[in-house]
C-alpha cells in the first residue's frame, strides 16, 4: 500500500473499498501544481522580456509591435497579423494614418535604408584608409628609399654608406652599387604606383555603384 494512503471502511452497498487520500498527499499535489504554475509564469515573463528587448533594437515605431498579447511570436509575425486583420475590415472603417503606420511593417524600409547608408559610409572610410596607407608608403619610399632594404639594427643609423665603406670600395664599385639600388627602387616605385592606381579605380567603381 502506498505511503500516506489508508483504506476506509468497505462500502457495504457495493462491496468496494475506496482509498482515502491523506493530507500529506494533498499537500504534495498542491505543491506540484504551484510549482507548475510558477514555471509557466516565469516562462511568460521571459518571453515578454525577450520581445521588449528585441523591439528596442529597431525603429521606435516598430517597438509597439513586439508588445502584443501574443508574446510567443516574433515582432514581424505580430505586424503581419495586425496588417491582415486591418485589411479584412470594411473599407469605410479604415484606421487613422498614424495607427496604420504603427501596425504596418513599412517602417522597416527606413531601418534597412539607415543600415545600408551606414554600410556605405563604412566601406567608403575603409577605401580612404587603404588609399591613405598606399600614399604614405609611396611617400616613405620616396624620401627614404634605403630604409626598406637595410637591416633592422641599422635603419636608424644609415641613410648612406659610411666613409669607411666608401674608402674600401672603388669609385666604379660604388657607382654600380648605387645603380643597382636605383633600379630596385624604381621597380618598387612602379609596383606601388600600379597598386595605388588599382585601389583608386576600385574605389571609384564602388562609389559609382
| Predicted pLDDT of residue 71 | 46
Of the residues 65, 84, 103, the one at which a domain ends: 84
Would you say residue 43 lies in a domain? Answer: yes
Half-sphere exposure of 15 (CA within 13 A, CB side): 0
Would you say residue 1 lies in a domain? Answer: no
Of the residues 84, 110, 128, the one at which a domain ends: 84
The per-residue pLDDT for range 67-124, each reduced to its tens digit, is 555 444 455 555 555 555 555 554 444 545 444 445 456 667 777 788 888 888 888 8
Our separate counts of H helices and E strands in the chain read 7, 2
Distance CA 133, CA 123 (A): 15
Same domain (yes/no): 134, 192? yes
Q: Which three cell numbers stand for residue 181?
A: 639600388
Would you say residue 33 lies in a domain? Answer: yes
Would you say residue 96 lies in a domain? Answer: no
Would you say residue 99 lies in a domain? Answer: no
Q: For the chain, what is the domain count? A: 2
Would you say residue 109 lies in a domain? Answer: no
Query: Could you tell me the pLDDT band of residue 163, with boundaries at 50, 70 and 90?
Result: low
Same domain (yes/no): 44, 124? no
Domain housing 37: 28-84
Same domain (yes/no): 124, 192? yes
> pTM of the full predicted structure?
0.25
| Predicted pLDDT of residue 85 | 55
Would you say residue 56 lies in a domain? Answer: yes
Would you say residue 36 lies in a domain? Answer: yes
Vertex 163: Cα angle to 157 and 165 (nearest 5): 90
Lowest mean pLDDT among 25-29, 63-67, 165-169: 63-67
Same domain (yes/no): 185, 136? yes
Amino acid at each position: 500500500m502506498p505511503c500516506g494512503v489508508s483504506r476506509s471502511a468497505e462500502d457495504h452497498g457495493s462491496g468496494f473499498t475506496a482509498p482515502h487520500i491523506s493530507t500529506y498527499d494533498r499537500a504534495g499535489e498542491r505543491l506540484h501544481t504551484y510549482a507548475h504554475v510558477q514555471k509557466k509564469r516565469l516562462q511568460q515573463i521571459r518571453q515578454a522580456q525577450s520581445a521588449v528587448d528585441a523591439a528596442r533594437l529597431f525603429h521606435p515605431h516598430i517597438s509597439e509591435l513586439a508588445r502584443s498579447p501574443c508574446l510567443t511570436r516574433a515582432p514581424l509575425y505580430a505586424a503581419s497579423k495586425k496588417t491582415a486583420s486591418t485589411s479584412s475590415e470594411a473599407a469605410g472603417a479604415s484606421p487613422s494614418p498614424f495607427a496604420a503606420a504603427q501596425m504596418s511593417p513599412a517602417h522597416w524600409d527606413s531601418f534597412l535604408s539607415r543600415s545600408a547608408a551606414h554600410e556605405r559610409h563604412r566601406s567608403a572610410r575603409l577605401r580612404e584608409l587603404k588609399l591613405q596607407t598606399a600614399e604614405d608608403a609611396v611617400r616613405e619610399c620616396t624620401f627614404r628609399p634605403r630604409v626598406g632594404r637595410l637591416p633592422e639594427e641599422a635603419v636608424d643609423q644609415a641613410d648612406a654608406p659610411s666613409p669607411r665603406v666608401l674608402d674600401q670600395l672603388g669609385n666604379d664599385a660604388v657607382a654600380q652599387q648605387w645603380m643597382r639600388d636605383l633600379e630596385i627602387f624604381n621597380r618598387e616605385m612602379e609596383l606601388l604606383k600600379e597598386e595605388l592606381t588599382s585601389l583608386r579605380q576600385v574605389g571609384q567603381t564602388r562609389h559609382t555603384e
